[in-house]
Amino acid sequence: MPPWADELGALLLIVLGVVMFTALLNNASEAGLAYNLSHVLRQIFGYAAYLVSLAVVGMGVILLLPKFGIRPRIGWTKIIAIETAFGALTALLHLFANDPEGRALAREGGGGGYLGWALTLITSSLGLSLSLLIFGTLFIGGLIVLSGLRTRHLMMSFMWLRGRLQHSINHLDAMSFEAPVEPGPPNISTLHTSDFEAHTV
């Protein structure tokens, strides 16, 4: 392959991603090609189609980085994490739409498209709440793996949050014990009795 093949491929990906993103923003039926491209992307990915177009641009940028001496390391673990988080996101978009006709929603380009609709079929027998929990966990887990955080980092963060919460609770308890007791209004019957005794004397 010629040395400029990577650069050409990267530029083509960037241009393709920009065209996809522009087509998604332009919903006018007068622009036939852009409208058809936008409709197809929305049918497949729903509202997550915007992320797909940005991901295509990102792939082009990644291919160009080695030309500037930057070599990003993207292993299979991160690739699987990206796919897991993206798939879970499309399912969540479809679940949050809460449309009884999930296939019709995907056909119209809503929710998470056909991809989100297909994934929600896997957990449809478990109910909405459990489906949200499953795909929410997969989405958060994918983001955690993608960010490079490890179990010990999560445990340290959890212990720090727990310590801060305990400190706040202890501080509030101390403030409640030290709060001064405001004197209540004077007893009217006592005042009247004292005045009567003074006049009598």
What's the pLDDT score for residue 122?
93
Q: What is the pLDDT of residues 37-52, one digit of tens each?
A: 888 999 999 999 999 9
The identity of residue 55, as a single letter, is A
Where is mean pLDDT largest: 53-57, 145-149, 169-173? 53-57
Is the pLDDT assigned to residue 198 strictly greater than 50? no
What's the pLDDT score for residue 136?
94
Average of per-residue pLDDT across 140-163 = 75
pTM: 0.69
For the record, the structure tokens of 58 come out as: 């990102």
Looking at 43-52, 153-162, 182-191, which range is the least confident one? 182-191
Is the pLDDT assigned to residue 84 strictly greater than 90? yes
User: Are 142 and 81 contacting, i.e. CB atoms less than 8 angstroms apart?
Assistant: yes
For 55-70, letters b (16+ CB in 10 Å) and e give bbbebbeebbeeeeee
| Alpha-carbon distances of 164 from 16, 170, 171, 172, rounded to whole Å | 48, 10, 10, 12
Distance CA 136, CA 142 (A): 10
Is the pLDDT assigned to residue 196 strictly greater than 80? no
69 Ramachandran zone, left/alpha/beta (phi>0; psi -120 to 50): left
| Alpha-carbon distances of 125 from 24, 54, 87, 93, 108, rounded to whole Å | 33, 34, 19, 18, 24
Average of per-residue pLDDT across 73-85 = 88
